């Protein structure tokens, strides 16, 4: 662009009633100044730079009697050309490309396992999932279960402390004439301090049980985008240009009904399997026999909704991504099943808790029968 000009044309007619007030003219001036600053930041030339005496705004806008009468300028206009950016491709390249350290490292790990084992990509993805989850998330999951077991074992002691504190507060209310609001405040603040001291004593703060999520979710995201980059399913600046497939072997090293791992699963078998596996994982947690709190019920429903939403998402992404998600969900399902066995829990040195069942699968079957069959019959009747 060789010139930036400003033009304000206003038709002042009583018939149409189209005119600029002073406030509207002020708004136009602000917009022109922003545009001028933006063009100058891009290194574009303006009429002000060519002729310092030229003031196109003041010379071509005249406002009288609360009506702005804008006289069109005779300055030739050149259109403002600004290069259009594709924000989707630009954002993806900035945050999810192989140049981003965690995603690039995840891609190198997948390629190293593939080249070391010599397995086809479908088997290499499965082995990589099992290795990474077994090395990284499995120890954290065991640690999380140990923390939750200690917290559960503290509940009887917390209950006794609560009863003693209630009696002490009741005595203080009579002795010092505390009102109900102040007594409740003292009880809650003292109880929180006592529970915190117990958590410190046993080194089992419940927040530590969420440590596994801080590793599992980022690893899941990095591996997912690494597989997407390798399959070439990334946005580009132009629709006419296709992104290169970084690993061409993915096109031929699939298996069964998905031989091409760079293409979506047209049969929807992988996406449906993904949704069913996730739902089964969630329902196993909901059939523990313990009464869920309101927030836990909300979280369960949110997870169920996400499991359903993942089905159409899995149908449009490359098969390698959906296949990795299925492998990760199957690993989580197998992990949850193993943790139900009392012998496995003793082998992992998990404390025995009151909620632990010696016949976990029989109890789950009875709970599922009560939840899904008997309640459904009661609603029908």
Q: How do residues 192-228 score in pLDDT, each as one tens digit?
A: 999 999 999 999 988 888 888 899 999 999 999 999 9
Same domain, yes or no: 125 and 15: no
Same domain, yes or no: 265 and 302: yes
Same domain, yes or no: 234 and 315: yes
Last residue of one domain, picked from the residues 54, 83, 112 = 83
Residue 69 has pLDDT above 80, yes or no: no
Higher pLDDT, 28 or 132: 132
The C-alpha atoms of residue 277 and residue 283 are separated, in whole angstroms, by 10
**Mean pLDDT value of segment 232-237:** 76
Q: Is residue 291 part of a domain?
A: yes
Q: Which of 109-118, 206-215, 243-252 has the lowest mean pLDDT?
A: 243-252
Q: Is residue 370 part of a domain?
A: yes
Q: What is the pLDDT of residue 50?
A: 45
Q: Is residue 339 part of a domain?
A: yes
Q: Is residue 344 part of a domain?
A: yes
Residue 5 has pLDDT above 50, yes or no: no
Same domain, yes or no: 42 and 134: no
Same domain, yes or no: 115 and 39: no
Q: Are residues 22 and 63 in contact, defined by beta-carbon separation less than 8 angstroms?
A: yes
Q: What is the pLDDT of residue 191?
A: 94
Same domain, yes or no: 3 and 133: no
Work out the number of other CB atoms within 10 angstroms of the CB of residue 301: 11
Same domain, yes or no: 77 and 95: no
Closest of 192, 127, 132 to residue 161, by C-alpha: 192
Residue 53 has pLDDT above 80, yes or no: no
Q: What is the pLDDT of residue 163?
A: 93
Measure CA of the first residue to CA of the last residue in the chain; give whole Å: 77
The C-alpha atoms of residue 77 and residue 96 are separated, in whole angstroms, by 42
Q: Is residue 333 part of a domain?
A: yes
Residue numbers of the domain that contains 288: 90-154+204-375
Last residue of one domain, picked from the residues 27, 61, 83 = 83
pLDDT confidence tier of residue 82, bands split at 50, 70 and 90: very low
Residue 16 has pLDDT above 70, yes or no: no
pLDDT confidence tier of residue 232, bands split at 50, 70 and 90: confident
Higher pLDDT, 211 or 64: 211
pLDDT confidence tier of residue 42, bands split at 50, 70 and 90: low
**Mean pLDDT value of segment 242-267:** 87
Q: Which of 46-55, 120-129, 137-146 has the lowest mean pLDDT?
A: 46-55
Q: What is the pLDDT of residue 373?
A: 73
> What is residue 225's three-state secondary structure?
helix
Higher pLDDT, 1 or 137: 137
Same domain, yes or no: 18 and 139: no
**Mean pLDDT value of segment 317-322:** 93
**Mean pLDDT value of segment 164-192:** 92
Distances (CA, A) of 120 to 16, 42, 112, 117: 74, 50, 13, 9
3-state helix, strand, coil in the chain (%, to 5): 65, 5, 30
Same domain, yes or no: 32 and 106: no
Same domain, yes or no: 309 and 218: yes
- The enclosing H or E element of 62 equals strand 61-64
**Mean pLDDT value of segment 40-52:** 49
Residue 103 has pLDDT above 50, yes or no: yes
Q: Is residue 190 part of a domain?
A: no
Last residue of one domain, picked from the residues 83, 106, 136 = 83
- The enclosing H or E element of 375 equals helix 375-380
Quick one: CA torsion of 124, 125, 130, 135, rounded to 10 degrees?
90
Q: Is residue 7 part of a domain?
A: yes
Query: Residue 89 corresponds to which tokens in the numbers above?
Result: 């491709």
Residue 49 has pLDDT above 70, yes or no: no
pLDDT confidence tier of residue 51, bands split at 50, 70 and 90: very low
Query: Residue 32 corresponds to which tokens in the numbers above?
Result: 């022109």
- The residues, ordered by sequence, that sit 6+ positions from 152 with a Cβ below 8 Å of its Cβ are 353, 354, 355
Q: Is residue 192 part of a domain?
A: no
Query: Residue 185 corresponds to which tokens in the numbers above?
Result: 């405040």
**Mean pLDDT value of segment 369-380:** 68
Residue 311 has pLDDT above 80, yes or no: yes
Residues 210-241, buried b or exposed e (16+ Cβ, 10 A)? eebeeebeebbebbbbbbbbbbbbbebeeeee
Q: Which of 166-180, 258-272, 307-321, 365-379 has the lowest mean pLDDT?
A: 365-379
Q: What is the pLDDT of residue 32?
A: 55
Residue 86 has pLDDT above 70, yes or no: no
Higher pLDDT, 364 or 66: 364
**Mean pLDDT value of segment 333-355:** 90
Q: What is the pLDDT of residue 12?
A: 38
Same domain, yes or no: 3 and 117: no
Domains held by the chain: number: 2
Region of 216 (left: φ > 0; alpha: ψ -120 to 50; beta: rest) is alpha
Same domain, yes or no: 215 and 349: yes
């Amino acid at each position: 662009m060789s010139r930036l000009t400003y033009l304000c044309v206003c038709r002042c007619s009583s018939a149409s009633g189209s005119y600029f007030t002073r406030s509207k003219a002020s708004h136009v001036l602000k917009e022109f100044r922003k545009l001028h600053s933006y063009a100058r930041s891009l290194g574009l030339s303006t009429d002000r730079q060519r002729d310092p005496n030229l003031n196109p705004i003041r010379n071509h806008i005249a406002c009288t009697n609360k009506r702005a009468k804008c006289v069109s300028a005779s300055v030739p206009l050149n259109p403002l050309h600004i290069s259009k950016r594709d924000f989707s491709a630009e954002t993806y390249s900035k945050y999810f490309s192989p140049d981003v350290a965690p995603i690039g490292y995840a891609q190198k790990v997948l390629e190293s396992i593939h080249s070391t084992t010599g397995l086809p990509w479908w088997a290499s993805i499965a082995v990589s999932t099992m290795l990474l989850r077994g090395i990284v998330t499995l120890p954290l999951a065991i640690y999380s279960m140990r923390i939750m077991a200690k917290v559960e074992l503290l509940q009887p002691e917390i209950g006794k402390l609560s009863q003693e504190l209630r009696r002490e507060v009741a005595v203080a209310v009579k002795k010092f004439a505390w009102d109900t609001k102040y007594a409740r405040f003292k009880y809650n603040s003292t109880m929180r301090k006592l529970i915190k001291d117990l958590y410190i004593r046993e080194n089992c703060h419940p927040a530590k049980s969420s440590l596994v999520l801080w590793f599992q979710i980022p690893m899941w995201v990095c591996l997912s985008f690494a597989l997407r980059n390798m399959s070439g399913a990334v946005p580009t600046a132009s629709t006419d240009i296709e992104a290169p497939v970084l690993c061409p072997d993915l096109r031929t090293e699939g298996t069964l009904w998905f031989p091409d791992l760079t293409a979506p699963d047209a049969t929807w078998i992988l996406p449906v399997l993904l949704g069913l596996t996730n739902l089964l994982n969630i329902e196993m947690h909901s059939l523990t026999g313990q009464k869920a709190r309101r927030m836990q019920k909300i979280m369960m429903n949110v997870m169920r909704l996400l499991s359903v939403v993942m089905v159409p998402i899995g149908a449009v992404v490359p098969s390698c991504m959906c296949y990795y998600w299925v492998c990760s969900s199957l690993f989580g399902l197998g992990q949850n099943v193993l943790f139900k066995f009392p012998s496995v829990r003793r082998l992992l040195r998990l404390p025995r808790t009151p909620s632990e069942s010696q016949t976990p699968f029989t109890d789950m079957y009875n709970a599922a029968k009560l939840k899904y069959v008997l309640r459904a019959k009661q609603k029908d009747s």
